């Protein structure tokens, strides 16, 4: 097993087998730049690049890692990504002396995570949210339309999605104020306006697009993964009471656009390859442009923890897996572009809520509490149906290797009272 000269605990998400990319700024000052996570440290790629140690990778411009976003690097494509990743692994290997034995360069290039501020990894031009979990769609449909009509007639034929709001995508650790909007109580004759009372989470994963495609030229499913730079955790906060009133006939609007949180570290698709697995059987067989030609998903364990203001420790409330998604990332990309839509470097696509067949695998409070009829019991004696002010949500996920992990770190967000 490859090991780094930097000590990495077996439970660390950031092994040398991972090396996720992120954008950071030293807390003591300085411009944002790009690095990779390794154990409890960050390798500053702008320093490594400046020292000439990445020239062998085929990078076509200088200073690409001294930029405040990953967009330019994302645009270079799979071959360059793979060469750069391989070179970084080589430089961090315990058997490679180039960086290991160059003490001055090590001091300049290797920073403690506690000494930096993590920033949004990309300038997100567009954000698309899908609805790719069959279990989630079935549960929600059953609640609102009954078991016989749980899935809409189109659901097993195409990946359902909608265009989200990129301006309100925020980095982990950003507090979220409770949104306001119109709601129509069940027995009311007219809507009311006020703070959402049914604020929810949605456990999702997202992926950043690399080079993209020209308008009018779709991306075939067989080649769609070549467009995936890497993956992040996503919490697509949702105001269910606002959504219930506004979503017909066009779908979510204010109930989703107030905030979407993402984790700071972008895990390269290549790092997930050892964990590739088959997804669920698809029946009926999708149309030819959505056909899968290989195992199309990954064994990524996912968890959600909740901590109320009067709780000493957080409590795990959800445990599920990315591999449960019915529609693969490649199928979602192919469908997104089949009509001619162009994707661009830094675009973010998200899976929609990820749920499994067991109750603890349901990826949102709407499902976990079955629309409020089965409250969650917390360790301090409290209950939850929806999020309360000062509740803090932590999402995490990882792939478990033999003696190492490829993980995503944590995605946190705390609910603050509504802004008057």
Task: Kindly state the percentage of the chain with pLDDT values over 70.
Answer: 99
- Active site (catalytic) residues: 136
Residues 207-218 pLDDT 10s: 999 999 999 999
Whether the predicted pLDDT of 61 surpasses 80: no
Q: Is residue 267 a contact partner of residue 364, using CB atoms and an 8 Å limit?
A: no
Average pLDDT over residues 229-239: 98
- How far apart (Å, rounded) are the C-alpha atoms in residues 196 and 54? 50
Whether the predicted pLDDT of 56 surpasses 80: no
- Residue 174's Cβ-count burial label (10 Å; 0-12, 13-18, 19+) is middle
Contacts of 141 (CB under 8 A, 6+ apart): 149, 150, 151, 152
- Looking up tokens 């009926």 gives 284
- Least confident among 13-17, 54-58, 373-377: 54-58
pLDDT for the residue numbered 55: 84
Average pLDDT over residues 223-245: 98
The CATH code of the domain at 127-416 is 3.90.850.10
Q: HEC states along 290-305?
A: HCCCCCCEECCEEEEE
Contacts of 348 (CB under 8 A, 6+ apart): 122, 124, 126, 127, 128, 166, 169, 206, 207, 208, 209, 262
Q: What is the mean pLDDT of the chain?
A: 97
Q: In angstroms, what is the C-alpha Rg of the chain?
A: 22
pLDDT for the residue numbered 341: 98
Average pLDDT over residues 387-398: 98
Distances (CA, A) of 357 to 24, 134, 360: 38, 9, 9
Helices (H) and strands (E) in the chain, counts: 10, 26
Task: Kindly state the percentage of the chain with pLDDT values over 90.
Answer: 97
Average pLDDT over residues 128-145: 97
CATH architecture of 21-119: Roll (2.30)
Domain segments of the chain as ranges? 21-119, 127-416
pLDDT for the residue numbered 60: 61
- CA 373 to chain centroid: 29
Residues 282-308 pLDDT 10s: 999 999 999 998 999 999 999 999 999
pLDDT band at 5 (very low <50, low <70, confident <90, very high): very high
Whether the predicted pLDDT of 245 surpasses 80: yes
pLDDT band at 121 (very low <50, low <70, confident <90, very high): very high
Whether the predicted pLDDT of 57 surpasses 90: no
């Amino acid at each position: 097993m490859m090991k780094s000269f930097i000590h990495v605990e077996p439970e660390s998400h950031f092994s040398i087998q991972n090396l996720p990319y992120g954008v950071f700024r030293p807390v003591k000052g300085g411009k944002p730049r790009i690095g990779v996570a390794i154990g409890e440290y960050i390798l500053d790629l702008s320093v490594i690049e400046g020292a000439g140690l990445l020239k062998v990778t085929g990078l076509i411009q200088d200073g690409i890692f001294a930029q405040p976003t990953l967009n330019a690097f994302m645009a270079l494509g799979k071959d360059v990504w793979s060469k750069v990743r391989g070179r970084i692994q080589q430089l961090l290997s315990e058997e490679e002396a180039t960086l290991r034995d160059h003490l001055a360069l090590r001091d300049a290039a290797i920073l403690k995570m506690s000494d930096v501020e993590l920033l949004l990894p990309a300038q997100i031009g567009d954000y698309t949210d899908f609805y790719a979990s069959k279990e989630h769609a079935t549960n929600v449909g059953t609640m609102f339309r009954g078991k016989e009509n749980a899935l809409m007639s189109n659901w097993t034929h195409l990946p359902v999605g909608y265009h989200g709001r990129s301006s309100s995508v925020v980095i982990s650790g950003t507090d979220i104020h409770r949104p306001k909007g119109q709601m129509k109580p069940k027995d009311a004759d007219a809507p009311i306006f006020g703070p959402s009372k049914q604020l929810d989470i949605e456990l999702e994963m997202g992926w950043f697009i690399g080079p993209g495609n020209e308008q009018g030229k779709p991306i075939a499913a067989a080649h769609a993964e070549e467009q995936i730079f890497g993956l992040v955790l996503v919490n697509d906060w949702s105001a269910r009471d606002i959504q219930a009133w506004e979503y017909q006939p066009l779908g979510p609007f204010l109930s989703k656009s107030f905030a979407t949180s993402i984790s700071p570290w972008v895990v390269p698709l290549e790092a997930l390859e050892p964990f590739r697995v088959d997804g669920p059987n698809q029946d009926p067989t999708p149309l030819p442009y959505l056909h899968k030609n290989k195992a199309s998903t990954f064994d990524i364990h996912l968890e959600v923890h909740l901590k109320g203001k009067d709780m000493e420790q957080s409590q795990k409330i959800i445990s599920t897996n990315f591999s449960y998604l019915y529609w693969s990332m490649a199928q979602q990309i192919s469908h997104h572009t089949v009509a001619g839509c162009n994707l661009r470097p830094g675009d973010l696509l998200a899976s929609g809520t990820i749920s499994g067949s067991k109750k603890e695998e349901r990826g949102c409070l709407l499902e976990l509490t079955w629309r409020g009829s089965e409250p969650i019991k917390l360790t301090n004696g409290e209950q939850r149906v929806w999020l309360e002010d000062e509740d803090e949500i932590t999402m995490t996920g990882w792939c478990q290797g033999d003696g190492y992990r490829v993980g995503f770190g944590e995605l946190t967000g705390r609910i603050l009272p509504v802004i008057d």
